[in-house]
Amino acid sequence: MAAGTKDYYAILGVDRDASDDEIKRAFRRKARETHPDVSDHDDAEERFKEINEAYDVLSDASKRQMYDQYGTVDGRFGGGPDLGDIFGGFGMEDIFSAFFTGVYGGNRRVRFEGRDMAAHVSISLEEAATGVDKDLVVDRLAPCEVCGATGMAPGANVVTCPECGGTGQQVTQRRTFLGVMQSVQPCTRCGQTGSVIDRPCEECEGSGRVPDRQHVTVTVPAGISDGMQLRLTGVGEAGIRGADAGDLIVTVHVREHEFLHREGDDLHCRVSVSIAQAALGAEIRTPGLLDAVGVKVPAGTQFGDVIRVKGQGMPRLRGSARGDLLVHLAVEIPKKLNKRQRQLLEEFSAEFGGTRGEPATPLQKLKDWLTS
Protein backbone atom coordinates (compact mmCIF):
# COMPACT_ATOMS: atom_id res chain seq x y z
CA MET A 1 0.00 0.00 0.00
CA ALA A 2 1.37 3.40 -0.97
CA ALA A 3 2.72 5.67 1.74
CA GLY A 4 0.08 8.01 3.09
CA THR A 5 -2.82 5.86 1.91
CA LYS A 6 -5.50 5.22 4.50
CA ASP A 7 -6.10 1.63 5.60
CA TYR A 8 -9.86 1.42 5.18
CA TYR A 9 -9.99 -2.10 6.62
CA ALA A 10 -8.30 -0.95 9.81
CA ILE A 11 -10.61 2.06 10.02
CA LEU A 12 -13.65 -0.23 10.04
CA GLY A 13 -11.88 -2.87 12.14
CA VAL A 14 -12.33 -5.78 9.70
CA ASP A 15 -10.03 -8.22 7.95
CA ARG A 16 -9.12 -7.73 4.30
CA ASP A 17 -11.18 -10.81 3.37
CA ALA A 18 -14.26 -9.58 5.27
CA SER A 19 -17.62 -10.25 3.63
CA ASP A 20 -20.04 -7.52 2.57
CA ASP A 21 -22.25 -8.24 5.58
CA GLU A 22 -19.29 -8.03 7.97
CA ILE A 23 -18.28 -4.69 6.45
CA LYS A 24 -21.83 -3.36 6.75
CA ARG A 25 -22.15 -4.42 10.41
CA ALA A 26 -18.76 -2.94 11.26
CA PHE A 27 -19.71 0.32 9.55
CA ARG A 28 -22.93 0.65 11.52
CA ARG A 29 -21.19 -0.17 14.80
CA LYS A 30 -18.34 2.26 14.23
CA ALA A 31 -20.69 4.98 13.02
CA ARG A 32 -22.75 4.73 16.19
CA GLU A 33 -19.62 4.93 18.33
CA THR A 34 -18.09 7.93 16.58
CA HIS A 35 -21.09 10.04 15.56
CA PRO A 36 -20.64 13.59 16.91
CA ASP A 37 -24.10 13.45 18.52
CA VAL A 38 -23.07 10.63 20.85
CA SER A 39 -19.27 10.74 21.04
CA ASP A 40 -17.35 12.94 23.50
CA HIS A 41 -14.10 12.77 21.54
CA ASP A 42 -12.81 16.03 20.09
CA ASP A 43 -12.09 14.36 16.75
CA ALA A 44 -15.46 12.57 16.55
CA GLU A 45 -16.56 14.47 13.45
CA GLU A 46 -13.33 13.70 11.58
CA ARG A 47 -13.44 10.02 12.59
CA PHE A 48 -17.07 9.79 11.51
CA LYS A 49 -16.26 11.18 8.05
CA GLU A 50 -13.32 8.77 7.80
CA ILE A 51 -15.59 5.81 8.54
CA ASN A 52 -18.03 6.96 5.86
CA GLU A 53 -15.15 7.29 3.40
CA ALA A 54 -13.97 3.75 4.18
CA TYR A 55 -17.45 2.29 3.81
CA ASP A 56 -18.03 4.12 0.52
CA VAL A 57 -15.02 2.29 -0.95
CA LEU A 58 -15.32 -1.14 0.65
CA SER A 59 -19.09 -1.46 0.07
CA ASP A 60 -18.65 -1.00 -3.69
CA ALA A 61 -17.22 -4.08 -5.43
CA SER A 62 -15.38 -2.18 -8.20
CA LYS A 63 -13.95 0.44 -5.83
CA ARG A 64 -12.87 -2.23 -3.38
CA GLN A 65 -11.12 -4.21 -6.10
CA MET A 66 -9.23 -1.12 -7.27
CA TYR A 67 -8.34 -0.20 -3.69
CA ASP A 68 -7.07 -3.73 -2.96
CA GLN A 69 -4.94 -3.68 -6.10
CA TYR A 70 -3.60 -0.13 -6.13
CA GLY A 71 -4.28 1.20 -2.66
CA THR A 72 -6.37 4.04 -4.08
CA VAL A 73 -9.61 4.76 -5.93
CA ASP A 74 -9.88 6.98 -9.05
CA GLY A 75 -6.28 8.07 -8.73
CA ARG A 76 -6.75 9.59 -5.27
CA PHE A 77 -4.75 8.62 -2.19
CA GLY A 78 -6.80 8.97 0.94
CA GLY A 79 -9.21 11.41 -0.74
CA GLY A 80 -12.62 9.76 -0.69
CA PRO A 81 -15.86 11.29 -1.92
CA ASP A 82 -17.61 14.15 -0.17
CA LEU A 83 -20.53 12.28 1.35
CA GLY A 84 -22.16 15.46 2.56
CA ASP A 85 -22.95 16.37 -1.05
CA ILE A 86 -24.79 13.15 -1.93
CA PHE A 87 -28.35 13.88 -3.05
CA GLY A 88 -28.17 17.62 -2.70
CA GLY A 89 -26.76 17.66 0.81
CA PHE A 90 -28.87 14.86 2.30
CA GLY A 91 -26.02 12.46 2.97
CA MET A 92 -25.12 9.75 5.42
CA GLU A 93 -24.29 12.28 8.14
CA ASP A 94 -27.82 13.70 7.98
CA ILE A 95 -29.27 10.20 8.09
CA PHE A 96 -27.29 9.32 11.20
CA SER A 97 -28.32 12.61 12.79
CA ALA A 98 -31.94 11.64 12.26
CA PHE A 99 -31.23 8.16 13.60
CA PHE A 100 -29.45 9.31 16.74
CA THR A 101 -32.20 11.69 17.78
CA GLY A 102 -34.01 8.52 18.77
CA VAL A 103 -37.29 7.06 17.71
CA TYR A 104 -39.02 9.88 19.48
CA GLY A 105 -37.66 13.32 20.12
CA GLY A 106 -38.63 16.94 20.57
CA ASN A 107 -42.03 18.19 21.63
CA ARG A 108 -43.96 17.27 18.50
CA ARG A 109 -45.82 14.11 17.62
CA VAL A 110 -43.44 11.68 15.97
CA ARG A 111 -43.65 11.13 12.23
CA PHE A 112 -43.80 7.41 11.58
CA GLU A 113 -43.85 7.62 7.78
CA GLY A 114 -40.48 7.94 6.05
CA ARG A 115 -39.50 11.16 4.34
CA ASP A 116 -39.06 11.67 0.60
CA MET A 117 -35.49 11.93 -0.63
CA ALA A 118 -33.98 13.72 -3.63
CA ALA A 119 -31.37 12.59 -6.16
CA HIS A 120 -29.96 13.81 -9.46
CA VAL A 121 -28.87 11.94 -12.58
CA SER A 122 -27.10 13.25 -15.68
CA ILE A 123 -27.67 11.72 -19.14
CA SER A 124 -26.69 12.48 -22.73
CA LEU A 125 -29.13 13.63 -25.42
CA GLU A 126 -28.77 10.21 -27.08
CA GLU A 127 -29.75 8.50 -23.81
CA ALA A 128 -32.72 10.84 -23.51
CA ALA A 129 -33.79 9.74 -27.00
CA THR A 130 -33.50 5.99 -26.43
CA GLY A 131 -34.19 5.74 -22.69
CA VAL A 132 -31.62 4.37 -20.29
CA ASP A 133 -31.19 2.65 -16.92
CA LYS A 134 -28.96 4.51 -14.47
CA ASP A 135 -27.54 3.13 -11.22
CA LEU A 136 -27.53 5.35 -8.14
CA VAL A 137 -26.07 4.87 -4.67
CA VAL A 138 -28.66 5.87 -2.06
CA ASP A 139 -27.80 6.68 1.54
CA ARG A 140 -31.03 6.10 3.42
CA LEU A 141 -32.65 4.81 6.57
CA ALA A 142 -33.58 1.30 5.45
CA PRO A 143 -35.77 -1.34 7.15
CA CYS A 144 -33.87 -3.24 9.84
CA GLU A 145 -33.27 -6.81 8.67
CA VAL A 146 -32.55 -8.12 12.18
CA CYS A 147 -36.02 -7.42 13.60
CA GLY A 148 -37.95 -7.29 10.33
CA ALA A 149 -38.52 -3.53 10.81
CA THR A 150 -40.61 -4.12 13.97
CA GLY A 151 -38.07 -2.55 16.30
CA MET A 152 -38.58 -5.44 18.74
CA ALA A 153 -36.06 -7.93 20.08
CA PRO A 154 -37.13 -11.61 20.22
CA GLY A 155 -39.77 -12.07 22.89
CA ALA A 156 -40.34 -8.32 23.30
CA ASN A 157 -43.77 -6.76 23.85
CA VAL A 158 -45.46 -3.43 23.36
CA VAL A 159 -46.30 -2.05 26.80
CA THR A 160 -47.85 1.08 28.26
CA CYS A 161 -45.43 3.99 28.36
CA PRO A 162 -44.22 4.37 31.97
CA GLU A 163 -43.61 8.10 31.54
CA CYS A 164 -47.14 9.16 30.56
CA GLY A 165 -49.17 6.13 31.70
CA GLY A 166 -50.50 5.60 28.20
CA THR A 167 -51.91 9.12 27.73
CA GLY A 168 -49.22 10.25 25.30
CA GLN A 169 -48.83 13.48 27.28
CA GLN A 170 -46.69 14.66 30.15
CA VAL A 171 -48.20 16.99 32.75
CA THR A 172 -45.94 19.28 34.74
CA GLN A 173 -46.90 21.61 37.59
CA ARG A 174 -45.08 24.54 39.15
CA ARG A 175 -46.02 26.98 41.86
CA THR A 176 -46.13 30.69 41.10
CA PHE A 177 -47.41 33.71 43.00
CA LEU A 178 -50.62 33.26 41.03
CA GLY A 179 -51.01 29.69 42.22
CA VAL A 180 -50.23 26.29 40.72
CA MET A 181 -49.61 26.46 36.96
CA GLN A 182 -50.06 23.28 34.95
CA SER A 183 -48.68 22.59 31.45
CA VAL A 184 -49.22 19.65 29.12
CA GLN A 185 -46.62 18.54 26.58
CA PRO A 186 -46.29 15.57 24.23
CA CYS A 187 -44.54 12.64 25.83
CA THR A 188 -40.97 12.48 24.56
CA ARG A 189 -40.60 8.84 25.59
CA CYS A 190 -43.38 7.42 23.39
CA GLY A 191 -43.96 10.27 20.96
CA GLN A 192 -47.62 10.64 22.01
CA THR A 193 -48.40 7.03 21.11
CA GLY A 194 -48.86 5.95 24.74
CA SER A 195 -46.89 2.74 24.28
CA VAL A 196 -43.25 1.62 24.10
CA ILE A 197 -41.29 -1.58 23.43
CA ASP A 198 -40.01 -3.22 26.60
CA ARG A 199 -37.02 -4.79 24.80
CA PRO A 200 -35.96 -2.84 21.70
CA CYS A 201 -33.96 -4.43 18.90
CA GLU A 202 -30.26 -3.83 19.55
CA GLU A 203 -29.49 -3.29 15.86
CA CYS A 204 -31.97 -0.44 15.26
CA GLU A 205 -32.54 0.60 18.89
CA GLY A 206 -36.28 0.15 18.53
CA SER A 207 -36.83 2.28 15.43
CA GLY A 208 -37.18 -0.59 12.97
CA ARG A 209 -34.75 1.11 10.56
CA VAL A 210 -31.00 1.46 10.20
CA PRO A 211 -28.66 3.70 8.18
CA ASP A 212 -27.62 1.93 5.00
CA ARG A 213 -26.19 2.50 1.54
CA GLN A 214 -28.09 0.82 -1.27
CA HIS A 215 -27.84 0.60 -5.05
CA VAL A 216 -30.94 1.69 -6.96
CA THR A 217 -31.63 1.45 -10.69
CA VAL A 218 -33.54 4.37 -12.23
CA THR A 219 -35.31 3.72 -15.53
CA VAL A 220 -35.27 6.93 -17.56
CA PRO A 221 -37.96 6.85 -20.30
CA ALA A 222 -37.25 7.86 -23.90
CA GLY A 223 -38.18 11.46 -24.69
CA ILE A 224 -37.54 12.87 -21.22
CA SER A 225 -36.65 16.56 -21.03
CA ASP A 226 -34.06 18.34 -18.94
CA GLY A 227 -35.30 19.05 -15.42
CA MET A 228 -38.06 16.44 -15.38
CA GLN A 229 -38.44 14.35 -12.23
CA LEU A 230 -39.01 10.63 -11.74
CA ARG A 231 -40.59 9.27 -8.56
CA LEU A 232 -39.48 5.89 -7.22
CA THR A 233 -42.16 4.84 -4.76
CA GLY A 234 -40.95 3.46 -1.45
CA VAL A 235 -37.26 3.99 -2.15
CA GLY A 236 -36.93 7.00 0.15
CA GLU A 237 -36.47 6.96 3.91
CA ALA A 238 -37.97 3.88 5.61
CA GLY A 239 -40.78 4.47 8.07
CA ILE A 240 -40.52 3.77 11.78
CA ARG A 241 -41.41 0.17 12.73
CA GLY A 242 -42.65 -0.80 9.29
CA ALA A 243 -44.59 2.38 8.50
CA ASP A 244 -44.78 3.50 4.87
CA ALA A 245 -41.48 4.54 3.34
CA GLY A 246 -40.98 7.81 1.53
CA ASP A 247 -40.21 8.12 -2.17
CA LEU A 248 -37.00 8.85 -4.04
CA ILE A 249 -37.48 11.81 -6.39
CA VAL A 250 -34.87 11.82 -9.15
CA THR A 251 -34.27 14.99 -11.18
CA VAL A 252 -32.93 14.26 -14.67
CA HIS A 253 -30.40 16.59 -16.27
CA VAL A 254 -29.85 16.23 -20.05
CA ARG A 255 -26.40 17.37 -21.13
CA GLU A 256 -25.96 19.65 -24.14
CA HIS A 257 -25.11 18.01 -27.46
CA GLU A 258 -22.08 18.95 -29.55
CA PHE A 259 -24.04 19.56 -32.78
CA LEU A 260 -27.74 19.43 -31.94
CA HIS A 261 -29.89 21.91 -30.05
CA ARG A 262 -33.21 20.77 -28.60
CA GLU A 263 -36.41 22.80 -28.50
CA GLY A 264 -39.28 20.71 -27.22
CA ASP A 265 -39.31 17.55 -29.32
CA ASP A 266 -37.60 19.22 -32.30
CA LEU A 267 -33.86 19.26 -32.91
CA HIS A 268 -31.90 22.02 -34.65
CA CYS A 269 -28.53 21.84 -36.37
CA ARG A 270 -26.41 24.08 -38.61
CA VAL A 271 -24.95 22.75 -41.87
CA SER A 272 -22.69 24.49 -44.42
CA VAL A 273 -23.10 23.93 -48.17
CA SER A 274 -20.97 25.16 -51.05
CA ILE A 275 -22.00 27.81 -53.56
CA ALA A 276 -22.55 25.14 -56.19
CA GLN A 277 -24.68 23.00 -53.87
CA ALA A 278 -26.81 26.00 -52.93
CA ALA A 279 -27.26 27.07 -56.55
CA LEU A 280 -27.74 23.66 -58.16
CA GLY A 281 -29.29 21.71 -55.30
CA ALA A 282 -27.76 18.66 -53.72
CA GLU A 283 -28.29 15.58 -51.58
CA ILE A 284 -26.25 15.84 -48.39
CA ARG A 285 -25.97 13.92 -45.14
CA THR A 286 -25.80 15.60 -41.75
CA PRO A 287 -25.16 14.15 -38.29
CA GLY A 288 -28.46 13.21 -36.65
CA LEU A 289 -29.29 12.11 -33.17
CA LEU A 290 -28.42 8.43 -33.55
CA ASP A 291 -27.29 8.22 -37.20
CA ALA A 292 -26.57 10.39 -40.22
CA VAL A 293 -29.67 11.93 -41.85
CA GLY A 294 -30.17 12.51 -45.58
CA VAL A 295 -31.19 16.10 -46.45
CA LYS A 296 -32.33 17.34 -49.88
CA VAL A 297 -31.05 20.86 -50.53
CA PRO A 298 -33.22 22.53 -53.19
CA ALA A 299 -31.70 24.55 -56.03
CA GLY A 300 -31.48 28.25 -55.27
CA THR A 301 -31.03 27.79 -51.53
CA GLN A 302 -30.21 31.02 -49.69
CA PHE A 303 -28.11 31.61 -46.60
CA GLY A 304 -30.26 30.99 -43.49
CA ASP A 305 -32.86 28.81 -45.20
CA VAL A 306 -34.23 26.06 -42.97
CA ILE A 307 -35.09 22.56 -44.14
CA ARG A 308 -37.42 20.48 -41.98
CA VAL A 309 -36.81 16.72 -41.93
CA LYS A 310 -39.90 15.02 -40.56
CA GLY A 311 -39.59 12.43 -37.79
CA GLN A 312 -35.86 12.88 -37.14
CA GLY A 313 -36.23 14.73 -33.83
CA MET A 314 -36.75 13.50 -30.26
CA PRO A 315 -39.34 10.84 -29.46
CA ARG A 316 -42.39 12.22 -27.69
CA LEU A 317 -42.47 11.17 -24.05
CA ARG A 318 -44.58 8.02 -23.65
CA GLY A 319 -45.74 8.29 -27.27
CA SER A 320 -44.90 6.76 -30.64
CA ALA A 321 -44.46 9.99 -32.64
CA ARG A 322 -41.23 11.95 -32.99
CA GLY A 323 -40.35 15.59 -33.46
CA ASP A 324 -38.54 16.97 -36.52
CA LEU A 325 -34.97 17.88 -37.38
CA LEU A 326 -34.58 21.48 -38.56
CA VAL A 327 -31.45 22.00 -40.65
CA HIS A 328 -30.26 25.62 -40.79
CA LEU A 329 -28.21 26.13 -43.96
CA ALA A 330 -25.16 28.35 -44.31
CA VAL A 331 -23.65 28.96 -47.78
CA GLU A 332 -19.90 28.64 -47.47
CA ILE A 333 -17.91 31.22 -49.47
CA PRO A 334 -14.37 30.03 -50.31
CA LYS A 335 -11.62 32.34 -49.03
CA LYS A 336 -9.01 31.19 -51.56
CA LEU A 337 -9.46 30.31 -55.25
CA ASN A 338 -7.09 28.74 -57.73
CA LYS A 339 -6.79 30.07 -61.26
CA ARG A 340 -9.36 27.71 -62.75
CA GLN A 341 -11.92 28.37 -59.99
CA ARG A 342 -11.52 32.13 -60.39
CA GLN A 343 -11.99 31.83 -64.16
CA LEU A 344 -15.18 29.82 -63.74
CA LEU A 345 -16.62 32.26 -61.21
CA GLU A 346 -15.80 35.20 -63.48
CA GLU A 347 -17.57 33.47 -66.35
CA PHE A 348 -20.46 32.76 -64.06
CA SER A 349 -20.58 36.41 -62.96
CA ALA A 350 -20.43 37.63 -66.57
CA GLU A 351 -23.23 35.26 -67.55
CA PHE A 352 -25.41 36.82 -64.90
CA GLY A 353 -24.61 40.34 -66.08
CA GLY A 354 -21.66 41.41 -63.95
CA THR A 355 -17.88 41.40 -63.96
CA ARG A 356 -15.81 40.47 -60.92
CA GLY A 357 -18.90 40.61 -58.81
CA GLU A 358 -19.99 44.11 -60.01
CA PRO A 359 -23.75 44.32 -60.66
CA ALA A 360 -24.86 45.08 -64.24
CA THR A 361 -26.32 48.51 -64.93
CA PRO A 362 -29.89 48.81 -66.31
CA LEU A 363 -28.45 49.88 -69.71
CA GLN A 364 -26.15 46.84 -69.76
CA LYS A 365 -29.03 44.54 -68.92
CA LEU A 366 -31.10 46.06 -71.79
CA LYS A 367 -28.17 45.66 -74.20
CA ASP A 368 -27.68 42.05 -73.18
CA TRP A 369 -31.39 41.39 -73.74
CA LEU A 370 -31.44 42.99 -77.21
CA THR A 371 -28.36 41.07 -78.39
CA SER A 372 -29.36 37.73 -76.95
pLDDT, one tens digit per residue, over 19-77 is 988 998 888 888 777 766 566 777 878 888 888 888 888 988 888 998 988 887 754 43
Is the confidence at residue 78, as pLDDT, over 50?
A: no
Q: Are 243 and 167 within 8 A, CB to CB?
A: no
Each residue's pLDDT tens digit, 204-259:
888 899 888 888 999 999 999 999 999 999 999 999 888 999 999 999 999 999 99
| Amino acid 87: pLDDT | 37
Please give the domain boundaries of the chain with CATH numbers for all domains: 1-81 (1.10.287.110), 261-371 (2.60.260.20)
Each residue's pLDDT tens digit, 177-211:
667 777 888 887 787 888 889 999 988 888 899 88
Sequence letter at residue 122: S
Closest to 258 measured CA to CA, from 287, 285, 220: 287
Q: Are 62 and 52 within 8 A, CB to CB?
A: no
Give the chain's length: 372
| Amino acid 205: pLDDT | 84
User: Higher confidence at residue 70 or residue 125?
Assistant: 125
* Rounded Cα distance, 277 and 65, in Å: 57
Residue 199 CA: distances (Å) to CA of 106, 154, 205, 319: 22, 8, 9, 54
Q: Dihedral of CA 302/308/309/314: which sign?
A: positive
Each residue's pLDDT tens digit, 1-10:
554 578 999 9
| Amino acid 98: pLDDT | 54
| Amino acid 323: pLDDT | 94
* 3-class secondary structure, 158: strand
